[in-house]
Amino acid sequence: MYKQPYLQKYSGKSSRSTCPQCKTKESFTLYLSGDTNAPIHSTVGKCNREVKCGYHYTPKQYFTDNPISKKEFTNSHKKMIPQPMQNSPINYIPWKLVKESASFNSNFVRFLCEMFTKEQITNAVENYALGATKNKEVIFWQMDINGKFRTGKVMQYNPDTGKRIKQQSGAINWVHNLLKKSNPEFKNFNLQQCYFGEHLLRMYSDKPIAVVEAEKTAIIASMVFPDFNWLAAGNLNGLSVEKSKIFKGKKVILYPDAGCYTKWKEKMVQLKSEIYCHISISDLVEKHASPQQIEIGYDIADFILEQLHKPNLPQGYNNNFSPTLNKMIEINPAVLSLINEFELEEV
């Protein structure tokens, strides 16, 4: 019986290819044959850069363009790509390694020091268990709701601009991949990702949840709006039903990047139908972003940083907030503008 093709599951950089359209390395997910687990063709797949590229060539389109029966295709592809066992246990990163990485000494945190108070930064670093490498890369640890570490995303930032350094080779890496290369014990590491910041749902169970794409965005938003648990999906496709099961019974609001509103709105409808939670989506970034900003991936972190550069106290300041929030507004009056723009209420 013919088995449907499927997108290759992420298992490290080696499981991603160069996009045939935008030529970006390690951004292309291949479709594999359901019968042989082999790639259908080097052009059949989906670029992860959906906004900037959008390439998606499906198996159906390929077989239409190349009149060959599925049976002939299956018989001609003998190479097998081993797939991880569906029921194999999830592997975790040892706590010892996480503890050893704990540090404020990353270029990302250095950038934050130019924008936020010492108290805000300390709370963010401790709440999200941020780490750092010897090269001052930040480690965004993925800690699940049970306090276990699934992996860590290693990224380098410009300490002056706060922008991710993308042009360097290996600008993004994963702790589990580094361990697989250096330690035989991790060779068959079975990764199942969770939301960045998921553990906060256990620490602060009464807080509503806000979901963004990038880890950086979650950190920055958490320092301005600490009454929410800010989670990051990791990328445009990181919002999934499986990962979102932790949202059951919770109040959730999605803040997609500019240009991604429609995609996340479709996903929101799916989550509503499959998970019992009160979920909504904000078009704040979509409304404020220019075409040029959409092209470069404008998100609410960019919006927040823009507002924080405004020096004057906004009209309508009534001083009816908590002492902590009032102190934040006094230090940087633009916080009140952000509260109004986001239509947030203090909880």
Q: What pLDDT was estimated at residue 346? A: 43
User: What pLDDT does 24 receive?
Assistant: 84
Side chain identity, residue 191: L
The residue type found at 216 is K
Q: What is the DSSP string of 67-113?
A: ---HHHHHHH---------TTSPPP---HHHHHHHB-S-SHHHHHHT
Q: pLDDT tens string for the chain (347 positions)?
A: 557 888 988 877 778 888 887 888 888 999 988 877 888 888 889 988 877 777 888 888 777 666 655 556 666 554 434 444 455 789 999 999 999 999 999 999 999 998 898 999 999 999 999 999 999 999 999 999 999 999 999 999 999 999 888 755 556 889 998 999 889 989 889 999 999 999 999 999 999 999 999 999 999 999 988 999 999 999 888 899 999 999 999 999 999 998 889 999 999 999 999 998 999 999 888 888 888 888 777 888 888 888 776 655 444 444 444 555 555 555 555 555 555 555 554 44
Nearest to 222 by CA among 196, 247, 241: 196
Reading the block at residue 83, the tokens are 């797939």
Say what the pTM is.
0.72
316 — alpha (psi -120 to 50), left (phi > 0) or beta?
left
φ, ψ for residue 86 (rounded to 5)?
Answer: -60, -30
pLDDT at 66: 65
pLDDT at 82: 44
Distance CA 212, CA 225 (A): 13
DSSP 8-state code for residue 176 = H
DSSP character at residue 170: T
The pLDDT assigned to 77 comes to: 55
Structure tokens at 262: 């429609």
What DSSP element (H or E) covers 325?
A: helix 323-331
Please answer whether residues 340 and 329 qualify as being in contact, where contact means their C-beta atoms are separated by less than 8 angstroms.
no
User: Counting runs of H as helices and runs of E as strands, what totals does the chain give?
Assistant: 14, 12
